[in-house]
Structure 1
Amino acid sequence: MAQARGRLYGLLLLCFSCKWVSTAPTEHLISSLPGQPQVSFRQYSGYINVDESAGTNLFYYFVEAQSNASSQPLALWLNGGPGCSSIGGGAFTELGPFYPNGKGDGLRINPYSWNKVANVLFLESPAGVGWSYSRIPAGYRYNDARVANESLVFLLRWFQRFPEYSERPLFLTGESYAGHYIPQLALLMARHNGRMSRGAAAFGFNLHGILMGHLVETSKEGSDEVDVCIDHELTRYLNHPTVQRALHANLTSLPYAWEACSDIVDYKYEDQLEDMLPLLKDLVKSRVRIWIFSGDQDSVVPLTGTRSQLTTLAHHLRLKTMIPYSAWYANGQVGGWVEAYEESLGLVYATVRGAAHMVPYAQPERALILFSSFLHAQPLPSRSS
């Protein structure tokens, strides 16, 4: 593992000095997905190599905003697990532009897709998840540090392919064990920007905030709350050879089928018990916007634990309460409850009524309202809105 970390740090140093040359990723442009309704926005997908020595290649799926893509922000979405798919979870079950149809041989429109208000990038991480892979067995052994480093390398190299997005406001979003992935990645990005200020890096991340579902992880993420029909339909759809060709996926003929959650990833158990509050404390101090949300019916990570931790964090930092714990509204109904700190809404906790662990799946309209408010640092709608 030490050698693997050494290779990653070497890659990071290489990326710090790279030159940003516009190379249109035409080989990653998706012409159309099988059974896809006609849309006006562009989609891209493919692999980014993050470790040449281990042959570690991470798969991504990227959808431009449905309107004014050139002026909309960029959001990275990560599912958790560790070992669950951001393509299967985020992209095609929760907040992407399409859901599988009833037969699993085509797609239908998601009317509450997050690409209505942002350009959205979905990353399959770590290797062994979805179609991401490594060429050596040791490449599937992970801890939090390795995931964060590889994600940083991925973003640096992704921006090389999409330089027009490099100066956009960037937001890190995700749920469940992404509550580990995101804070650690955000801190690495801050350190990278520090190297840039000293002339050691040629590019800086325009990170504006992080939006995470849950803080406390008590068990491995699963798909038990997802309708078994959509789970079956999606698995059938993504394992079809024509779909994989359209997505530029599985180019090496992996010896296993696509699955929503992977048993291949060998993840360090001790890291799953680490407290993320100290990292969040550092991020709040650095003025990174942090919003945390919970489904009020979540049985995997109950909202009481998350709210208690956020209250403790705000107390330790002596943050001023701007919005006391109160209801927010969606279309005239209570959408959930919210508590906010700092004048700029820099730290916010919100619940989503009627949602379980996978909030955008259970309550897509309310999740979209939450996401849009977060992007613009606007209070969630009140009764008088």
Structure 2
Amino acid sequence: MDAELDKVQHLPGWGKPATGLFSGYVTVNKTAGRALFYVFAEAEEASESLPLVLWLNGGPGCSSLAGGFLSELGPYYPTNEPGRLQRNDYAWTQAANVIFLESPAFVGWSYSNTSSDADVGDERTAADAYVFLEQFFERFPAFVGRDFWISGESYGGHYVPNLAYEIVRRQRGAPDSKRLINLQGFLVGNAWTDATLDNSGAIDFWWSHALISDDTRAGALRTCNFSNIGPLRGEYSRVDPEACAKFVTRATNEMGAINIYEIYADVCRDWRADADGRQLLRALAGPEAALLRQGQYDACIDNEVQAYFNRQDVQAALHANRSEHALPYGPWLGCSTIVNYSQHDLFSSMLPVYRELLAVEPPLSMLVFSGDVDGIVPVLGTRRWIRALGLPITRPWRPWTSSTGQVGGYVEQYRGLTFATVRNAGHMVPYTQAERSYYLFSRWLKAVHSEERTDVI
């Protein structure tokens, strides 16, 4: 298929895109009739030389258009005027060409003609994403061989390393000239990685930030089998599940109606964001609560994004939801109510995958970053699972400074992996701290050939 057929000529609320913007469907399984929807935003300058980045939001089952493209790191951003867009001054497209993929099928405008495809897990999600990339490079051959990075957040903690491993596995043994995907590494933020360590870290984070009582913390740590719990929900088993559920419920009651995705930001008082059936405290979700953005505050951005993508003129402009596969299950949603994701995969640790990826030669570059006021996948859990990898520290903990001259966060380098915090950022780092997020991302990419990568952070 010719990429020109996917080119967006006019974006409602903005006009003619200033740089290349493409969107449409890529079939990943002809037999099942399964296709994934994507938006591809070329870099604002020097698109022919800058790297290619794939962005994957979490969920599992949340859209990379709602999160990544229109409220976090894409080139456009909603305004207070309904239906109008503005420039995102900290768009990652200033440093890279970025693909936003709605994955797996039944997320956003992605679809399947086989209803059982709603039952999905990590393996098929990674395999479909790999097929998508194969088809993408056929559609955009100029990007074959370009430096390629995978990035994401939240349940992207599974999507991102699993896709990296899928690429490594499928290309293993092939000469460089035959490798379609020039994988350099990945970046993943507030990554759901290991249920036991992430959940115990969440309990301690809530307690250390004065959100829950001493007794509730002690009770949860004593009674819960954290390997079978997603944040604020889950199947409690083996260790007195009723007692565990009691303490988790008590914790949510003690915290009150806060924004668990950014504990110091207000919540949206317009509950229309929940009218599509999503739960305010849905585990691992993408942009379920709107968060503080530098220089402005929009606590109800979910409503604006959902309204925008459900406009017929927007869908026509983006080549989405066309009549031959119109969505049969209602309006476009930021997080799917159709996807039935594998609970086994949800609770599986990603540490074995990290160990496989750390052994790859030539080595991949891995940046794990964490907003330090996220209460759903907090920084404490991330530090615990990184420690569990047993990697030697090559450069110790230290502050990094953003472009404003302020401390942007802290960084520690291990053999094969770099960990960075982003100060005052929530679960969706590019949204809650846009300048710091862009600085971290852009400086990381520029240092791709540097042996001392974190010198530039």
Give the TM bin, normalised by the shorter chain.
Answer: 0.7 to 0.9
Equivalent residue, structure 1, for 2:98: 120
1:43 maps onto 2:21 in alignment:
yes
C-alpha separation in 1, matches of 2:173 and 2:455: 36
- Taking a change above 3 Å as real, the CA distance of residues 380 and 245 of structure 1, as seen in their structure-2 partners, is farther
Alpha-carbon contact 2:121-2:345 (below 8 Å) kept = yes
Q: Is the 8 A contact 1:85 1:125 kept in 2?
A: yes
Residue of 237, 242, 248 corresponding to 2:313: 242
Residue in 2 that maps onto 1:224? 289
Q: Give the superposed CA RMSD.
A: 1.8
Tell me the equivalent position of 1:13: none
Q: Contact (CA 8 Å) 2:11, 2:17: kept in 1 or not?
A: no
Aligned to 1:379: 454
Residue by residue over 1:53-77, the C-alpha shift from the partner in whole angstroms, topping out at 9 and shown as x without a partner, is 1111100000000000000000000
Equivalent residue for 2:431?
361
CA contact (8 A) 1:84 1:221 kept: no
Letter in 2 for 1:63: A
Deviation per CA, 1:20-79, whole angstroms, max 9, x where unpaired? xxx641110001201215553110000000011111110000000000000000000000
| Structure 1: gaps of 5 or more residues | 1-22
Question: Would the alpha carbon gap of residues 204 and 239 (structure 1) be closer, same or farther in structure 2, given more than 3 Å must change?
Answer: same
Kindly indicate whether residue 414 of structure 2 is the aligned counterpart of residue 341 of structure 1. Answer: yes
Distance in 1 (alpha carbons) for counterparts of 2:91 and 2:134: 26
Q: Letter of the aligned partner of 2:366 in structure 1?
A: I
Contact 2:43 2:96 in 1 (8 A): yes
**What does residue 331 of structure 2 align with?**
257
- CA distance in 2 between counterparts of 1:38 and 1:363 reads 28
> Does 2:370 align with 1:294?
yes
Partners of 2:165 and 2:357 within 8 A in 1: yes
Q: Is the 8 A contact 2:134 2:180 kept in 1?
A: no
Task: Return the letter of the residue paired with 1:379.
Answer: T
Query: Any idea what SS the aligned residue of 1:54 has?
Result: coil
Give the AA of the match of 2:383. Answer: R
Which one of 162, 186, 195 corresponds to residue 210 of structure 1? 186
Q: Is the 8 A contact 1:370 1:380 kept in 2?
A: no
- Structure 1 equivalent of residue 133 of structure 2: 155
Residue 327 (str. 1) matches residue 399 (str. 2): yes
Code of the residue aligned with 1:233 in structure 2: it is E
Write the distance in 1 (CA, Å) between the matches of 2:117 and 2:32: 6
Post-superposition CA distance 1:226-276 (Å, at most 9, x none): 444221111111100000000000112212111111110011111101111
Name 2:3's counterpart in structure 1.
25
**Displacement after TM superposition at 1:93 (Å):** 0.5
Contact 1:127 1:133 in 2 (8 A): yes
Distance 1:276 1:380 in 2: 28
Other structure's SS at 2:135 match: helix
What number of residue pairs does the alignment pair up? 351
Work out the CA distance in 2 between the residues paired with 1:300 and 1:368.
22
1:107 maps to which residue? 85
CA-to-aligned-CA distance 1:164-212 (integer Å, 9 cap, x gap): 10110000000000110111111111111125349xx954320001100
CA-CA distance at 1:284 after TM superposition = 1.5
Q: 1:193 to 1:187 in 2, by over 3 A?
A: same
Does the 8 A contact of 1:80 with 1:177 survive in 2? yes
Find the structure with the greater CA-based Rg: 2
TM-score, with structure 2 as normaliser: 0.74
Going from structure 1 to structure 2, the CA distance change for 1:156 and 1:369 (only over 3 Å counts) comes to same
Distance in structure 1 (CA, Å) of the matches to 2:4 and 2:309: 22
CA distance in 2, matches of 1:216, 1:261: 17
Residue 15 of structure 1 is matched in structure 2 by none
In structure 2, distance between residues paired with 1:37 and 1:329: 36
Q: 1:307 maps to what in 2?
A: 383
Superposed displacement of residue 380, structure 1? 5.8
Aligned mates of 2:178, 2:388 — CA distance in 1:
38
